[in-house]
Amino acid sequence: MNSNVSKPAHSWRPRTKAVRGGLSRTNFSETAEAMFMTSGYVYGSAEEAEASFDGTLDRMVYSRFKNPTVATFETRLAEMEGVPEGMNIACRATASGMAAVHAALLCQLRAGDRVVASKALFGSCHWIINELLPRYGVERVFVDGTDLAAWETALAKPTTCVFLETPSNPTLEIIDLAAVCELAHKAGAKVVVDNVFATPILQSPFELGADIVAYSATKHMDGQGRCLGGAVLGSPEFCNDVLGPFLRNTGPALSPFNAWVLLKGLETLDLRMERHCANALQVARFLETRPEVARVIYPGLESHPQHQLARRQMKGWGSIVAIELTGGKSSAYKLLNGVELIDISNNLGDAKSLMTHPWTTTHQRLAPEDKLAMGISEGLVRLSVGLEDADDLVEDLGRALES
């Protein structure tokens, strides 16, 4: 086989797709994915340019629409995402996770539509649903994502979209995806899942009935704190006819450089998630033994209220641990200021362990009653467990808690 021709990916297993999916070599037969840092493309003739714009010729015309490196990232991610037998999905990359969530919702909503969302959401996702959608005449209803009866009541009326995040940020609530998708589809709604905490390695929302999946690639996909990125996955019809024109004309395009970095990140995502999960479980089990800690929230702990559900719908528990300290904000600050190895940072999914105080950082702008309704108290600390030696992390946390 010619080394420049991309190989058929359909029969590969997920780990192979993560390393080779979408690879299409240039005439130089390079090993690694080529990086096409170009905004535009040239035409051999005026006729060729015309044909490229009227659609008779399928080729690159402008990197806001399509770029070879970005397209490789999109193909690889689409191939990595778990789907039910016979389902086809496509992927569109965006400049950030928030651009992905914004586009996934706004591309399909119009005045008069209705959205039902879980209330435990990443701060900016909450802002889009709560502040932005009503400006455009979209009705929004928030429910406790873990309460199926609340979903049932909210979805008793015709609904356009359901938006949810599971596990949620930062309180790690687990939502029953299969049950909510069934209720949503009966109400005529498309289900959009923010799958950032789980990644395609740990959870496959399409297999549980989701219609659209959104990612921040900034988090575990890059996983090394280098660049922003995002992606939306859905049916080819949705990606081509609904999402495609929205992205093309509003312009949240992913840089080819960032797409290249993220492609290399996808190659090791599976390996890294395995270590993230093992480290996080060890750290969570240690924290559970500490008297300074009122509560440890981690889906892998038997004490997690949706532990059995997480076991059913996830393949691993993830990298994030939430810690509720007995002494409120002052104890939270003592822990943050006391750790030496773990950094204070609001990012997550990084190789480096990072810790933040959601009340005063990621969720600062929410009203206190909204924070409390989401389970965020002043004593809550979110820990993104990295790839260091877990024994070093445990020692660091132990020292900081004692002081």
Ligand X SMILES: *Cc1c(COP(=O)(O)O)cnc(C)c1O
Residues that bind ligand X (CB under 6 A): 96-98, 101, 122, 125, 165, 169, 194, 196-197, 216, 218-219, 228, 230
For residues 232 and 239, which CB has a smaller minimum distance to ligand X in the complex? 232
For residues 196 and 259, which CB has a smaller minimum distance to ligand X in the complex? 196
Provide the 3-class DSSP secondary structure of residue 16.
Answer: helix
Task: Quote the CA–CA distance of 104 and 288 in Å, as a whole number.
Answer: 38
Least distance (Å) between residue 217 CB and ligand X: 7
Q: Are the CB atoms for 3 and 23 separated by under 8 Å? A: no
Q: Which residues, including other chains, have CB under 8 Å from residue 308's CB and lie 6 or more apart?
A: none
For residues 95 and 401, which CB has a smaller minimum distance to ligand X in the complex? 95
For residues 96 and 204, which CB has a smaller minimum distance to ligand X in the complex? 96
Nearest to 19 by CA among 268, 224, 250: 268
**C-alpha separations of 175 from 38, 118, 258, 293, 297 in Å:** 42, 9, 31, 25, 15
Task: Quote the CA–CA distance of 75 and 66 in Å, as a whole number.
Answer: 12
Q: Are the CB atoms for 321 and 337 separated by under 8 Å? A: no
Q: Are the CB atoms for 116 and 186 separated by under 8 Å? A: no
For residues 81 and 194, which CB has a smaller minimum distance to ligand X in the complex? 194
Least distance (Å) between residue 392 CB and ligand X: 25
Using CB atoms, what's the residue nearest to ligand X? 97
Nearest to 162 by CA among 216, 127, 113: 113
Least distance (Å) between residue 123 CB and ligand X: 9
For residues 79 and 350, which CB has a smaller minimum distance to ligand X in the complex? 350
**Residue 156, both tokens:** 């008793």
Least distance (Å) between residue 292 CB and ligand X: 27
Least distance (Å) between residue 86 CB and ligand X: 29
Q: What is the DSSP letter of 254?
A: P
Strand order in the sheet with 114-118: 90-94, 230-234, 212-216, 190-194, 161-165, 114-118, 139-143
Least distance (Å) between residue 366 CB and ligand X: 15
Least distance (Å) between residue 97 CB and ligand X: 2
Q: Which helix (H) or strand (E) holds 192?
A: strand 190-194
Least distance (Å) between residue 127 CB and ligand X: 11
